[in-house]
Amino acid sequence: MNVYLAWTSEAPEDLAGPWHEARPIAPGLLLLESAETLSVVYHALKWALPQEASLIVSPVHQTPKSRGMAPGTTSWLRSRTTSGGDRA
């Protein structure tokens, strides 16, 4: 299963798509869990947005550092990604 982080300038009209879970974590930010490729997820989300909306989607392989996200976000990510470890 893949995890993607998406930012949109507008809220999607519908969060149904080729993902098992779509999790809003902050205004404009979504975490998506999907077995599909980046391209498939990107296009499905693009089609759910108004035409003028901005969009970026990126795979998340390692648990990112974050602050101020929706409750449960860090636990959700840790259960689906690997620890990146900090380098000195």
Q: Residue 13's pLDDT is what?
A: 82
Q: How many domains does the chain have?
A: 1
Domain of 52 in residue numbering reads as: 1-58
pLDDT digits (tens, 9 = 90+) for 27-74: 999 999 999 999 999 999 999 999 999 999 999 999 999 999 999 999
What's the DSSP call for residue 62?
Answer: B
**CATH number, position 25:** 3.30.70
Q: Residue 87's pLDDT is what?
A: 52
Q: Is 5 exposed, middle or buried (0-12, 13-18, 19+ CB in 10 A)?
A: middle
Whether 75 is covered by a domain: the verdict is: no
Q: Residue 36's pLDDT is what?
A: 98
